[in-house]
Amino acid sequence: MGFLKVIPVVLSGGSGTRLWPLSRENHPKQLLPLVGERTMLQETVARLDGVPGLGEPFLVCNEEHRFAVAEQLRLLGKRGQILLEPYGRNTAPALTLAALWAQRDGDDPVLVVMPADHVIVERAAFRAAVVRAVALADRGVAVTFGITPDCPETGYGYIQRGERSTLDDAAYALARFVEKPDRDTAQAYLDAGDYLWNSGIFVMKASVWLSALSVCRPDILAACRKALGAVSQDGDFVRVDRAAFELCPPDSIDYAVMERLSAGLPGLPGAAVIPLSAGWSDVGAWDALWKVLPKSGTGNAWRGDVLLEGCSNTLAVSESRLVACVGLKDVVVVETDDAVLVAHHSATQNVKKIVDRLKAEKRAVAQWHRKVHRPWGWYDGVDAGERFQVKRICVKPGASLSLQMHHHRAEHWIVVTGTAKVVRGDETFLVSENQSTYIPLGVKHRLENPGIAVLEMIEVQSGSYLGEDDIVRFEDTYGRG
C-alpha cells in the first residue's frame, strides 16, 4: 500500500460556541490548546504522522481564519493546501472542494476527512484503524468510524452497524445513521450493543465521494465545480469564486451522502463502519472537555492560576487572574480577561444560548477576544474610555501592517522593545526603544518591524470614533481590503 497516496483533509469551519468564552467566532476552539500544549488543529494534522503514503494535508477553513491556520501549520513544521471558504456551507461542500482539488493533477488519493476540533487520546490505535480504513477505501468502499460507546450519551448521533464485512473482519456494513436520542433511547442503543457514536471521520477515495455526490447531491457538486472553475492561488491559500460558492446549497457529509449509502441505493458505492476505541471526544461542550482532561482523585480538572477547596467534579480554567472555587460540585468555571462563565455540567450545552444573546446585542465579546491575532502579530486592548483607547501591539520580525489611514482617530506610538520602521505621509524613519511618534488623523501611515526580534509597542488612540472598521487600506502584504 506504499504507493497509495493518503491526504488528510482537515475541516476547520466550526465556531465552537458552546466553549465560549475561550472559543470565539473569530478565534474558535480548533485554534486553542484545550488538551495539551498544541492546539486542536495542530493535534489533528499531526495525528496521521506515520501512516504509509501520507501526503501534505488539505485544510478547509473560513477565510477569516486563514492566517491563524497558516501560522499554526508553520509552527508545526508542516506545509499544506489551505482551501478558503468565503461562506460557511457545512461539511459536504467543504469535502467536495477538497476532493476536486485533490484530483486537479489526475490523482485519485484516499482522503482521510477529520474535523479539526476533536480529541483522540490514543493516537496509535487511531492510526492502526486508519490503515485498515485506507485499505478498504482503496477497494472503493466509503468508510467511517463508529466510537464504541461507554455511556448512554444524548449529545452524539449514532450509527447502527450491520453484518461483518467480507473484506475486513474489523469492519461492518453501515446499517443506518440515527439522530441524537433522548436518554431512554440512548440507553436502549447501549444495551443493544450494535450502535456506535458517530465520529464524523470518513475515509474514501476522492473519486468515490464525487461519484456518490453526483447521484445524491448533483447540485452541490455543480456549485463546487463552478466555484473552483475561477480558482486563484496565493501561496498555500486556494481561493474559490465567491459568487459561485455563495449559491452552493449547505449540507453535511452524513445527510448528503452517507445516510444514502447506508440504505444501499443502486449506483452508489458500498459503505462500512469500523468500531474505534481510542479516547475520542468531539469536545462539543465544557462537560465533554472535563471528561477527557486529567483529573484529581475528587474529579477536579483545572488549568491556570486556580485554587480549589472542597470541590468535586469541577472544571476551572483561569486565563488572566487567580480563580478560587469553594464547595462546588459538577460545576464549570472559565475565566478570560473579558468574560467569566459559571455553569452546571448538565447545562453546558446551553452556553450557545448566551452566545446567541451576545450576538443579538452586537457585543464584540461573542466574536473577539481582547487579544486579537493578525497575520503580522497581535494586539491586546488594554484600556478604553470616551474618546481614547490603549493597545499593546506585538509585530513579528520582518512583518508589517498595511499602509493605511483613519478618518476619525489619531495615534501615539511608544516603542517598548525592538525597533519600528514608520512611514508617516512622505516621511520614513526609525523609532527605537523608549522613543515615540505621533500619527495625525487623516495621514497615511505604516508600521513595520525591520529587526530580528519581536517589536512591542503601546498605541494610544484618540478621536471621535475608535472602531476597527475605521481603516482605509492602500497597500497590504496580506491581501486584505
Tell me: the pLDDT tens digits for 83-124? Answer: 999 999 999 999 999 999 999 989 999 999 999 999 999 999
String of DSSP letters for 212-276: HHHHH-HHHHHHHHHHHHT-EEETTEEE--HHHHHTSPP--HIIIIIHHHHTT-TTS--EEEEEE
Instruction: Decide if pLDDT at 80 tops 60.
Output: yes
> Which candidate, 408, 160, 120, 400, places its Cα nearest to that of 263?
160
Give yes or no: residues 225 and 297 share one domain.
Answer: no
Give yes or no: residues 346 and 274 share one domain.
Answer: no
Of 281, 310, 334, the last residue of a domain is 281
**In the beta sheet, which residues pair with residue 172?**
164, 273
Question: Which CATH number does the domain housing residue 92 bear?
Answer: 3.90.550.10
Residue 409 is placed in which grid cell? 482617530
Label residue 333 by pLDDT band (50, 70, 90).
very high
Q: Given CA atoms 63, 67, 73, 79 in this order, what sign does their dihedral have?
A: positive
The residue to which cell 473560513 is assigned: 62
Instruction: Identify the pLDDT of residue 1.
Output: 43
Tell me the residue range of the domain where 298 lies.
286-358
413 close to 433: Cβ distance less than 8 angstroms: no
Instruction: Identify the pLDDT of residue 78.
Output: 93
How far apart CA 57 and CA 79 sit, in angstroms, is 8
- How many domains does the chain divide into? 3
Of 236 and 191, more confident: 191
User: Using one digit for the tens of pLDDT, what is the confidence trace for 267-320?
Assistant: 788 899 999 999 999 999 999 999 999 999 999 999 999 999 999 999 999 999
Give yes or no: residues 166 and 99 share one domain.
Answer: yes
Label residue 481 by pLDDT band (50, 70, 90).
low
Q: What is the mean pLDDT of residues 138-149?
A: 96
Give yes or no: residues 268 and 290 share one domain.
Answer: no
Percent over 90 (pLDDT), the chain: 87
Instruction: Decide if pLDDT at 76 tops 60.
Output: yes
pTM: 0.90
Give yes or no: residues 17 and 54 share one domain.
Answer: yes
172 close to 162: Cβ distance less than 8 angstroms: yes
